[in-house]
Structure 1
Amino acid sequence: MVNLVAVFDFEGLKVRGRDVEVTFDQLYSLQLFGLPRLTHIWWMVPKEFRGFKNLILLVIGNCHSLRYLLSPTVAKLLVSLQKLELENCKAMKEIISMEQDGSETNVAEEMTTYKIVFSQLSILELVDLENLTFFGSGKYECQFPSLNSVVIRNCKEMKNFCSGPICTPKLERGKVQIDFKWVWMGDLNTTIQCAESSHHFFLSYNFTEVDEGEGEGEGEDEDDEA
């Protein structure tokens, strides 16, 4: 199991027109921990594929070769997902990426009108993802109509949540925690940017105070000796 590279490998699967069977519809929870070689959860998913419609919980931890979690194709399948939690995946760069599943479908051509809707997702936790830069860097629109709790902790490279438009109507003050502080500036992108700016300002301010304090102390010692 520790040598697992892909959980759901659809390479070679042919899906024709309307002859689509809904598969994995009895999968309600997927939790993966400590898989050092895991590079893909979903691989080569055909655009026409239908499945995973009842997946409610997705939790991933300590999978240090996993760079991307979902492709836009897979993200649109997870219509029942209620909680998404990722923790301590050192290589994770994006949650949704067009590079994720290796499929031959050209999603980039649809980016001007493409929407990804997580209609049931209410809890999102991103913890100790030291290389995470975006939830999604594509120009597609992300909608989270049910999202009411967000925790982002120790994601130092994350300067924006999404590159494209984002809709989170239920998020408000007291429901977004970034590095143990409750922050809200009206939308997730602005909130993350402000939290990042405040963090750097705080560190700079403290270092300046320490430097000045040390200088004053040294001067006083010299005067006393004189």
Structure 2
Amino acid sequence: THLWKQGSPLHHICANLETLEVYQCGNLINIARASSSLRNLTTLEVWYCKEMAELITSSNAQCLEQLVTLKIDGCEMMGEVIASDGDEATYHEIIFKELKCLELYDLQNLKSFCSGNYTLKFPSLDEVYVSKCPAMEIFCNGGLSTPKLQEVQTRWDVRRCWDLNATIEQLNKEECEMSEETDKNGGHKEDHVP
């Protein structure tokens, strides 16, 4: 259920790790215990970890300060990327100062990136791809700053983005409408022209 046990020699070996790809780790719940040794991580990709409910807790998210690329794909149970651990008073702000690329794909139960009442800041984020995340109604519940982000990519098109929360909300609404249309047409999607 964890990448490695606390006190493991891997903790020291991974301290300089820059890229981590986690693939089909069926029992992995999150990477919280490993987060302190991932301070130099620039790329994190997680694929098909079916039991992963969240990627990391809010208090450990601060450790990913060098992260440039985050890709999550096919994690069926993931409800949020950053889970609150009740520390809103201590960590009221989470900053991903280097994150430029965020991809969320085929996360059927993902409701938001973070449901806690934190201010999330992404000063470098300029590429967001969201697709097949039908339960995602909002990006985050707290404040949100994405000054460089101008568009959000989906599997069908590219959307101008002035407010990431509003864009995610609109995409969710359209996804629901398209699902209803598919159901009405006996499982066949009609061509949709926005």
The TM tier, using the shorter chain, reads 0.7 to 0.9
Name the residue aligned to 1:160.
138
Same amino acid, percent of matched pairs = 29
C-alpha distance in 2, partners of 1:179/1:206?
17
C-alpha distance in 2, partners of 1:65/1:121?
25
Letter of the 2:3 counterpart: V
Residues 1:23 and 1:77: Cα distance change in structure 2 (over 3 Å): farther
Matched-pair contact (CA < 8 Å) for 2:80–2:113: yes
What is the Cα deviation at residue 138 of structure 1?
Answer: 0.5
Aligned residue pairs: how many?
182
What is the Cα deviation at residue 37 of structure 1?
Answer: 1.2
Name the residue aligned to 1:194.
170
Q: Deviations over 1:164-219 (max 9, x none)?
A: 011000011xx3113432112411100011122234445667888x7xxxxxxxxx
Matches within 5 A, 1:76-91: 76-91=62-77
Matched-pair contact (CA < 8 Å) for 1:8–1:42: no
What is the Cα deviation at residue 85 of structure 1?
Answer: 0.3
Name the residue aligned to 1:7.
3
In the superposition, the TM-score normalised over structure 2's length comes to 0.83
Matched-pair contact (CA < 8 Å) for 2:88–2:118: no
Matches within 5 A, 1:1-226: 5-10=1-6, 24-43=14-33, 51-99=37-85, 107-110=87-90, 114-172=92-150, 175-201=151-177
Matched-pair contact (CA < 8 Å) for 1:25–1:52: yes
Matched-pair contact (CA < 8 Å) for 1:125–1:152: yes
Letter of the 2:20 counterpart: L
C-alpha distance in 1, partners of 2:127/2:161?
15
> Which blocks of at least 5 consecutive residues in structure 2 are unaligned?
186-194
Q: Deviations over 1:111-153 (max 9, x none)?
A: 6xx1000000000000000000010001110000000100001
> Which blocks of at least 5 consecutive residues in structure 1 are unaligned?
12-21, 100-105, 211-226
C-alpha distance in 2, partners of 1:75/1:116?
7
Letter of the 1:98 counterpart: S
In the superposition, the TM-score normalised over structure 1's length comes to 0.72
Give the secondary-structure state (helix, strand or coil) at the position aligned to 1:43. Answer: helix
Letter of the 1:186 counterpart: W
Residues 1:143 and 1:23: Cα distance change in structure 2 (over 3 Å): farther
Matched-pair contact (CA < 8 Å) for 1:9–1:42: no
Compute the RMSD of aligned alpha carbons: 2.6
C-alpha distance in 2, partners of 1:138/1:201?
28
